[in-house]
Amino acid sequence: MVPAMPDGPARQKIEQMLLYVVGQAHEDHSLTRTKLAKVLWYADFGAYRDLGSPISGWRYVKQEHGPMPDRMKLLELDLEAQGYLLRHQDGKATRYSLPESRSGIAEGLSQEELAYLDQVIYMCRNAWATYLSNKSHEESIGWQAAAIGEEIPYPTALLSREPLNDREIARGQELAREFGLTA
């Protein structure tokens, strides 16, 4: 038996994000489930890093092709059953559109959240799912550390493999002295 989908603000936000991305991608024929999952992940984890909190707060899990919203297929099926989303099979790929009666307007998202989501959509617009998937594998220390199906914690968005610059090293040393962490 599959547990019921969680309800609440996180679910409402992830649904609004998903519908907004699909609505904005009407010309993007490369929008598959994998690409959609990466856009949502980049938006949520990037907002956590850059704005201090994720847009939706929905759980993301490690899957073979990168981070994916937990129970994404059930989210899609629920939105489709409610008449908000149309799913189309194209070989192995799932593609999306919105019914003509529905626009991609996300009523539950703030202007700041929409602006951030728009930046991510713009960043990903010409990228194929395979590229975004590979990029998410390289960039996400949380994805690298998790087992398949395991949750990727939002704080891992703050981790980077980039070497520290001189200013960052100096600030770290200053904080270590301030908190008595040096000899």
**Per-residue pLDDT tens digits for 103-112:** 666 778 999 9
Distance CA(110)–CA(149), nearest Å, equals 30
Which sign does the torsion angle of CA 148, 149, 155, 158 carry? positive
Averaged pLDDT, 16-45: 90
Q: Mean pLDDT, to the nearest integer, of 151-170?
A: 91
Q: Give the number of domains in the chain.
A: 1
pTM of the complete model: 0.85
Cβ neighbours of 93 (radius 10 Å): 14
For 79, the domain range is 9-178
Is residue 1 a part of any domain in this protein? no
In a domain, 55, yes or no: yes
Counting residues of the chain whose pLDDT is more than 90, the rounded percentage is: 61
**How far apart, in Å, are the Cα atoms of 145 and each of 29, 72, 74, 151, 161?**
32, 21, 25, 10, 13
Query: What pLDDT does residue 1 have?
Result: 44
Considering the domain boundaries, does residue 162 fall inside one?
yes
Q: Is residue 123 part of a domain?
A: yes
